[in-house]
Structure 1
Amino acid sequence: MLIKLSLISLVTLASAAPSTTTSTSAASTPTAAPLLPIPAFSGTFANAYPPVDKTAPTDTPLVKQWLAELNLTAMPDFPPTKFNSGGDLENPNSVPADTCDWTVTNCINKDITNCPKRTWGLTYDDGPTEFSPQLYDFLDTTDQKATLFYIGSNVVTNWQAARRACAAGYHIAVHTWSHNPSTTLTNEQFVAEIKYTELAIKELCGITPTYFRPPYGDIDNRIRGLLVQMGYTSVIWDIDTNDWMMAPGGTRTEAQVDAAFDQWVAGAANLTEGHVCLEHELYQNTVNAAIKNLPKIQLTWKAMPVAACVNDAHPYQEKNITLATLDGAQTGSGAAVKSLSASVVAAAAVAIAAASFGL
């Protein structure tokens, strides 16, 4: 069962439009020297963004522009799903098998779910939050990088933490604007959710992500097709700490989270593949659990961002930005690589989507 919590219950968010406000989150002072340049930022956003914790609108000029760059007629004709108030699909039996819906059958279609043997894909969802600086402080003590799947609403609210993570060379990725299950959104809504989050990260950090994790792992071939057209790689996971189920999200205890890590460590010698693990920078106790258990992971696996374990040194549209990888690439920035025209990229994306998802 998915427990669908509103973002307001997850973190305290501002209700005003971020384009005319500044963040109230505490400033974060990096403990490691910046590895990547980030653009200047006054504290006031130049772009207009949707209200926080609300599904992104589809009738703005920006969204219309983004939609015009895609070929929505190439997408599978699967209607959006419906979830009930308890976070469950209302009628799982109505979802056709060819949708490859992860929520229904854990179906995977070119999604990243694990890393190579003896490596650990270190990921944290739902940031940045007021608790993120504590996590980043700890990660910096051992020069440990991770993939951070950011919610757009949180990016504009806790922008200091986002800029810190970008400058420090963490792998920044997208987790939608409002954290609704992806398959419940129309094509237009999903595009808006991705692109507004992408835009906020670009404005703050000067980078355009190309990795995405669906909230609750909720994804099907319609969503995958849209992601391919927008140039994204989808990431799920193969093991789940269920840390989000600790209070206030549920009744799971920190001892139970610790026990799961101990079990994974105990079984590491018998594995033929590595892991991608689901964790959260959501609450104080999820950050506490992450800090407590990371040392035992570092002693057992080579922990790294997901892009690193799949040897993707360029996980952003800006190919002059390099992040460290398993095969030895080093984090840094260099001369910009000339990009393909938008029309060429769009045409290639449509072709890839058609080949990948049986269109």
Structure 2
Amino acid sequence: MQLSLLCAGLLATANLVFAAPTPSVTIDVNSTELVTTTKSHWAPQFSPEFPGLKVTNPNPKYNSGPINTGTTLSKKTLDLSKYPKAWEVPSPNSAEVKAVINKINWDLVPKSPKRKAKNGDLDETGYDEDKDPDCWWTATLCTKPKVDYIPSDFYTCPTKGDWGLTYDDGPFVYSDDDDKTTQYENKWSEPELYNFLAKEDLKASLFYVGSNVIQYPEAAKRALNNGHTLCSHTWSHTTMTTLTNEQVVAELYWSLKAIKDAAGVTTRCWRPPQGDVDDRVRAIAWQMGLHTVIWDEDTDDWAMPAPGGSNLPPEKVDAKFAKWIKNQQQGKYKTGIMVLEHELNHATIQMTEKWLPKVKQTFNVVSAMQCNGVTQPYWEKSFEYPAIH
């Protein structure tokens, strides 16, 4: 695999302007249509609509204070009868999903093949990594699409000294399970992480799994009101290149609806589970209003021994944090970095609580979307984050 070092600059005012080397285009974030310039060749985008959804927070705005750090949150779920079964790839046959499928220009979706998994891992057999015709991140870490009508992924922070803070797999859901392990996890479910970040005066980009959002919408509300950026991490956390086009739409649609239902915002950012994305999936996501976000540094915190984890010794994760801090102190980075962490379990939360205060002493810790100049990551015209540079 070869990681290409791309400069993913983005300037943001009331509109988002994507910068060179690709031709520029202006997207009016207050509209559901693409506003093009004479130099533009980005594929048109649209904001998904959610028929019959009664949003409790119709005009959300950035909360400049005070921040809520209460230790409890309501355990009330969304209306689960209006959503697919959690943690399963949703059917693309619902009327809502079909309406989105019909809005996509399928001529602008590359004919990349549907991938296969082998023994739980994506099967890269036969894929030409040198040519990398599909910009398949799993095989080559490619972040610049081979088609010229989709922008490059966000994967780093362009400004030297920035630490782009991201967490996947949230919200970390409270469980009423009788299982003792799960009960132990309850102590570390939200709002534990969000209250810690508030204490440290830090903002993050949070990549939410729709199946978690419907179970714990109050956590999503807390995160938004505390100044974090909410992005999609699909509905069921499935490797996206293994799905059909229609299933990709369904995964993205239901995650978007869950976030909108819970917090009142329609997000324009998403991260593929395991980073598994190619130009076919990117093109579908982009037309649905979503910019792909990857990372360039990975804590591997998910793999530590804990529920949902594996057997990676925590010392290995400690060593990564220590190395990043040392590299920054020695001036080895020419840009900032975007770091992948997880809300997944007590081990990941404890690891970030251990290291972020130390990271702050060396890096400028900021939300990953904001470090890329994105101040309006939602379709809602009323919501704008403060610029950080």
Query: Given residue 129 of structure 1, which amino acid in structure 2 is its aligned partner?
Result: F
**2:323 matched to which residue of 1?**
263
User: What SS does structure 2 have at the residue aligned with 1:313?
Assistant: coil
Match of 2:310 in 1: 250
CA contact (8 A) 2:137 2:277 kept: yes
Tell me, in whole angstroms, the C-alpha distance in 1 between the residues paired with 2:359 and 2:190: 20
Matched, 1:68 2:71: no
Q: 1:49 aligns with which of 48, 69, 83?
A: 83
Residue 197 (structure 1) aligned with residue 255 (structure 2): yes
1:316 aligns with 2:378: yes
**More displaced 10-residue stretch of structure 1: 131-140 or 309-318:** 131-140
> Do 2:78 and 2:215's aligned partners in 1 also have CA atoms closer than 8 Å?
no
Match of 1:272 in 2: 334
Q: Residues 77 and 216 of structure 2 are in contact (CA less than 8 Å); yes or no, is this contact kept in structure 1?
A: no
* 5+ long unaligned stretches in structure 2: 2-52, 54-64, 70-74, 145-151, 174-188
Alpha-carbon contact 1:32-1:140 (below 8 Å) kept = no
Q: Which amino acid aligns with 1:64?
A: K
Residue 179 of structure 1: which of 237, 244, 251 is its match?
237
The question of whether the paired residues in 2 share the 8 Å contact of 1:127 and 1:282 is answered with: yes
Equivalent in the alignment of 1:100: 135
Q: Please tell me whether the aligned partners of residues 152 and 176 of structure 1 are also in contact (alpha carbons under 8 angstroms).
A: yes
Q: Greater helix share, 1 or 2? A: 1
Residues 80 and 214 of structure 2 are in contact (CA less than 8 Å); yes or no, is this contact kept in structure 1?
no
Instruction: Select which of 185, 196, 202 maps to 1:144.
Output: 202
The answer to whether residue 163 in structure 2 is matched with residue 125 in structure 1 is no
Q: Which residue of 2 aligns with 1:114?
A: 156
Superposed CA offset, 1:57-77 (max 9, x none): 100010011111111232111
Read off the aligned partner of 1:108 and give its amino acid letter.
Answer: T
**TM-score using structure 2 length:** 0.72
| SS state at 1:199 partner | helix
The percentage of aligned residue pairs carrying the same residue is: 38
For 1:182 and 1:101, the matched residues in 2 are separated by 11
CA distance in 2, matches of 1:212, 1:43: 23
Q: In the alignment, what sits opposite 1:208?
A: 266
Q: How much has 1:169 moved relative to structure 2?
A: 1.8
The aligned counterpart of 2:57 is none
Give the aligned residue type for 2:136: D
On the 8 A contact 2:169/2:208 being kept in 1, the answer is yes
Q: Work out the CA distance in 2 between the residues paired with 1:311 and 1:196.
A: 27
Deviation per CA, 1:233-288: give whole Å up to 9, x if none. Answer: 11111111011111142211222211110000001122111000010000110111
Q: Using the TM superposition, give the Cα deviation of residue 100 of structure 1 relative to its aligned residue in structure 2, in angstroms.
A: 0.8
Once the two structures are TM-superposed, the CA of residue 300 in structure 1 deviates from its matched residue by 1.0
Is it true that 1:156 corresponds to 2:214 in the alignment?
yes
Aligned ranges 1:266-345 → 2 under 5 Å? 266-268=326-328, 269-327=331-389
- TM-score when normalising by structure 1: 0.77
Query: Which is further off, 302-311 or 278-287?
Result: 302-311
Deviations 1:189-244 (A, max 9, x none): 11111111111111111100101111001011111111221111111111110111
User: Considering only aligned residues, what root-mean-square deviation do their CA atoms show, in Å?
Assistant: 2.4
Q: Across the two proteins, how many residue pairs are aligned to each other? A: 295
Tell me how far apart the structure 1 counterparts of residues 234 and 86 of structure 2 sit (CA, whole Å): 12
Q: Once the 2 structures are TM-superposed, how far is the Cα of residue 34 of structure 1 from its aligned partner?
A: 5.6
The answer as to whether partners of 1:123 and 1:146 remain within 8 angstroms in 2 is yes
Q: Does 2:93 align with 1:59?
A: yes
Residue 43 of structure 1 deviates from its aligned partner by 4.7
Amino acid at match of 1:300: T
User: Deviation per CA, 1:160-212, whole angstroms, max 9, x where unpaired?
Assistant: 21121122121000000011111111111111111111111111111001011
What is the distance in 2 between the residues matched to 1:91 and 1:48?
40
In structure 2, the partner of 1:348 is none
- Name structure 1 gaps, 5 residues minimum: 2-18, 20-30, 36-40, 328-359
Contact 1:145 1:170 in 2 (8 A): yes
